[in-house]
A and B are shown apart, each in its own frame.
Chain A
Amino acid sequence: MRGQIVSGGPTLERMTQGDALALYASGPWTAHYAPDLEKLVGEVEQLTSRNKRVLIDVSKIAKLDTFGAWLIERLSRSLVTTGAELRIAGLSANYATLVEEVRRVKEAPPEAREPFTIRGMLERIGRSVADIGDTFIGLIEMVGALLMAFWTVVRHPSRFRFTSIVHHLEQVCWRAVPIIVLITFLIGCIIAQQGLFHFRRFGADVFVVDMLGVLVLREIGVLLVAIMVAGRSGSAYTAELGSMKMREEIDALRTMGFDPIEVLVLPRIIALVIGLPALTFLGMMSALYGGGLVAWLYGGVEPEAFLLRLRDAISIDHFVVGMIKAPFMAIVIGIVACVEGMLVRGSAESLGQHTTSSVVKGIFFVIVMDGIFAIFFASIGK
């Protein structure tokens, strides 16, 4: 930008006569030249503190806009504060209104910026700890509101939003099938390959089938699918509800006498509770298929042998243990996502923050739930 101002840029010439100073401004005093103008004005401000009478001649200014007018105003203000007697000459009628306009400008209020202090830092830590408590209260509130909505729907089955549930089921379940099947298939392949690679050293190749079966059915299947769904559908729920909140759509629902929990949240969570177990089942089958394929092609375990071994290695208990976790994880993901969605405030930034924290918290709670289930099943000996 500097390079363009070689010729035809703005100037501010000084002429001194005794204690009088004359300043001649010329050229374009516009936004385009603002950096240069600021420098010119700054130089004069520092030099002219001794003059008693100052004249600013602006008749040669080719073009004036807010930036130029303000800088002249700034200059005259700083001259007046030094006690000089000021006169502005040659102001055309056009520009006079503009100068008049900027004359009304007051001091800028300071930007609300918090200084960094130890106390402030401690305060922020304290607040974020308190926020954890608020998160739990929010979750419990949502559980309560959901149960109330569910009870209303049970008493008045006509208010059951079947169409909405089918729509969400398509979004979270049907459309997720390809990616879930692909990912679990690959993970099944990887588990089998790694198992074969390491077990082969002990000549225990065939135990790969045991490991694959137990791991996939009990843990990996449901955990992987739940994490994928938290990332895929949990974030979508938060973003949908959040942008509806931002545009006052949720307030509109409320004023029409609808309960947003019943209309928006309940169908979404029911769809997840149906969809996640279905996806989990598909994921388990796909992972077993992938593992079996690798065991056959890479480990030389014939499909018949694989199936026989699998039947001996696992029982229906393993499958039930895995599947029973799925609906609970669905509820946790759904509730976290909807609570976060409802917390979104006006800005785009807030939407982003809550979508992020929806996924992070969703995955966190899924893993915590899995741990709790592991302890539970261990103590009942399954």
Chain B
Amino acid sequence: MAVAPGDAIISVRDLTVEFGGGKTRVLNSLNLDVKRGEILGFVGPSGAGKSVLMRTIIGLVPKRTGTIEVMGTELGSADLAARRAVERRWGILFQHGALFSSLSVRQNIQFPVREYLDVSDRLLDEITIAKLGMVGLKPEVANRYPSELSGGMIKRVALARALALDPELVFLDEPTSGLDPIGAGDFDELVMTLQRTLGLTVFMVTHDLDSLYTACDRIAVLGDGKVIAVGSIDDMRASQHPWLKSYFHGKRARAVVT
């Protein structure tokens, strides 16, 4: 965790999150830094609180104590305008897409742009098609509604919406879950391409070992409400922690490596 402060786009310090009025402590004085321009994979056992951490950083779950600094703004003490400014610069892909079901794909992608920028309909349409192209979808998809899309397409459209305002930081909550291995591979490829072209920082909660191997620059592991390890995939494989050992040396992991 030796990261210079200027280098970190997200820096979480002593974060504690409790549910049920202090009955269950999900995160226990957690520290985490995400460096600008990296793809950070976030893993941990189911129910360890990976999604809770993501939702706490983006402000959907209230925190008990600690500080969360995103792009130089401490979100806990920032006023509404400062928060909004930060929110404009990040994009979020929810686990199930969270597309607006009563809007078409085109309207879904244009929604944040329309709210924040005063641009012509022509440019809006062109940007929509450009974003759809970036996530590997044909322009014809633009007129469809979310209920008419397959699971993989929903994830792609949701990513296109997350990228609509060209954010510097994207949060991906299990982006490849529910995709076939080829689709998941394409998605990883896509995230890496976008990171290269747009200079994105990616915070990715995942269970997908393939994603960890191919896409992630660094991996952070959550256990017992804390980050128990951070480092490259090789560091993870060398770790002696029991959960990490079974995770990275289990049957599935061997299948990925060989």
Contacts and interface: CB of A to CB of B under 8 A. Distances in A.
Given A111-B143, A346-B146, A347-B147, A102 B101 contact: no
Given A31-B166, A65-B198, A66-B131, A38 B120 contact: yes
Nearest to A347: B101
A101 B136 CA distance: 11
A261 B196 CA distance: 54
A94 B147 contact: no
Interface in A87-118: 94, 97-98, 101-102, 104-109, 111-112
A132 interface: no
Interface in A44-99: 65-67, 70-71, 74, 94, 97-98
Interface string A342-372: 0001111110000000000000000000000
A31 B143 contact: no
A349 B102 contact: yes
A97 to B, nearest CB: 5
Given A38-B120, A70-B127, A105 B101 contact: no
Given A101-B197, A111-B106, A346-B101, A34 B145 contact: no
B123 A105 contact: no
B79 interface: no
Contacts of B118: 1, 35
Contacts of A109: 139-140, 142-143
A349 B101 CA distance: 8
Contacts of A193: none
B17 interface: no
B102 A347 contact: yes
Contacts of B142: 108-109, 111
A30 interface: yes
A28 to B, nearest CB: 11
A74 B123 CA distance: 10
Interface in B115-129: 117-120, 123, 125-129
A355 to B, nearest CB: 14
Nearest to A63: B199
B134 interface: yes
Interface of B: 100-102, 106, 113, 117-120, 123, 125-131, 133-134, 139-140, 142-143, 145-148, 163, 165-166, 193, 196-199
